[in-house]
Amino acid sequence: MRRFLLLYATQQGQAKAIAEEICEQAVVHGFSADLHCISESSKYDLKTETAPLVVVVSTTGTGDPPDTARKFVKEIQNQTLPVDFFAHLRYGR
């Protein structure tokens, strides 16, 4: 089965439900999704990830990320990261 990484960030559960549906449908279509909340950073490593990445994230407040995504957003907004830091990633959101 072709694997991909599936991350979600949710405030009220909708993004998680959508990610779980994608995970179920993936199997039907011959894919295997590794599903994690985006805050579970010990369970995935985007620096070394070679499989496609799908991110399901809701917005809250005034276009703010869910609480579970705040750390992730802060990390990828780090201005000291090289411009090609995530250049290897194939991702959709």
Ligand X SMILES: Cc1cc2nc3c(=O)[nH]c(=O)nc-3n(C[C@H](O)[C@H](O)[C@H](O)COP(=O)(O)O)c2cc1C
The site for ligand X (CB under 6 A) is made up of 10-15, 58-63, 66
Residue 35, number of CB atoms within 10 A of its CB? 20
**SS3 (DSSP) at 40:** coil
CB of 78 to ligand X, least distance (A): 23
CB of 69 to ligand X, least distance (A): 10
CB of 49 to ligand X, least distance (A): 23
Return the number of the residue (30 or 61) whose C-beta is nearest ligand X: 61
Return the number of the residue (5 or 11) whose C-beta is nearest ligand X: 11
Q: Which residues, 6 or more positions from 55, have their beta carbon under 8 angstroms from its beta carbon? A: 7, 8, 9, 38, 91, 92, 93
Residue 19's identity, in one-letter code, is A
